[in-house]
């Protein structure tokens, strides 16, 4: 949905609406990714028991670490697929992919030797982080970090609060699929309520304009 519009805006040299569209894409992505990662971190142990059984005890650590990739890959997807490619910046995008692949290749063996199986996760995170950081460097002339993340800070705060509440409830309740689903529901409700409180004025303005 975004990419055809960005192509059209770039072709017609409407750069301000294009930048606004990319920033809105970051807001939507962070609104979804922050609570998702927080929820995975809070419930990874119970989820791994339910989904993989206790035969795979300890896999929750891998799930928690891999959850970081949700944010990194989402950000690099916005920058690469939604901005760099439609705006004909193919070379920088290609370089970012090559950098990530090289770092992954270089780190896999030493990380596996040092940390065993979880070393693959460390190498993957390092590779994705390098891709994302390089892409942020590429777009620094077009977007500032403040522009990208200032409006997403409240989502992060809401996700952290949700994480604390869900983790506390998880510690109090015995494990069962029903309790796990209940905790997920509570997390969703808490996050949505906090976001509604943080953005009350904007929501009220939108409702009045309808």
> In this predicted model, what pLDDT tens digit does every residue of 96-126 receive, in sequence order?
999 999 999 999 999 999 998 899 999 999 9
Nearest to 70 by CA among 122, 30, 114: 30
pLDDT tens string 156-187: 999 999 999 999 999 998 888 889 999 999 99
- Model confidence at 204, in pLDDT bands (50, 70, 90)? low
């Amino acid at each position: 949905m975004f990419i055809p519009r960005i192509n059209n805006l770039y072709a017609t040299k409407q750069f301000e609406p294009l930048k606004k569209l990319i920033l809105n894409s970051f807001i939507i992505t962070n609104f979804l990714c922050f609570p998702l990662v927080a929820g995975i971190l809070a419930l990874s142990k119970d989820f791994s028991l339910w989904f993989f059984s206790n035969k795979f005890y300890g896999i929750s650590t891998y799930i928690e670490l891999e959850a970081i990739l949700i944010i990194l890959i989402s950000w690099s997807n916005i920058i690469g697929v939604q901005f760099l490619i439609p705006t004909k910046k193919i070379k920088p995008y290609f370089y970012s992919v090559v950098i990530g692949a090289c770092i992954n290749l270089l780190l896999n063996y030493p990380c596996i030797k040092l940390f065993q199986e979880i070393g693959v996760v460390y190498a993957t995170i390092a590779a994705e982080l390098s891709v994302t950081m390089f892409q942020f460097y590429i777009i620094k002339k077009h977007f500032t970090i403040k522009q990208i993340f200032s409006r997403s800070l409240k989502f992060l705060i809401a996700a952290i609060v949700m994480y604390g509440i869900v983790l506390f409830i998880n510690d109090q309740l015995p494990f069962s699929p029903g309790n796990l689903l209940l905790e997920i529901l509570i997390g969703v409700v808490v996050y949505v309520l906090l976001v509604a409180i943080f953005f009350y004025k904007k929501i009220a303005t939108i409702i009045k304009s309808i």
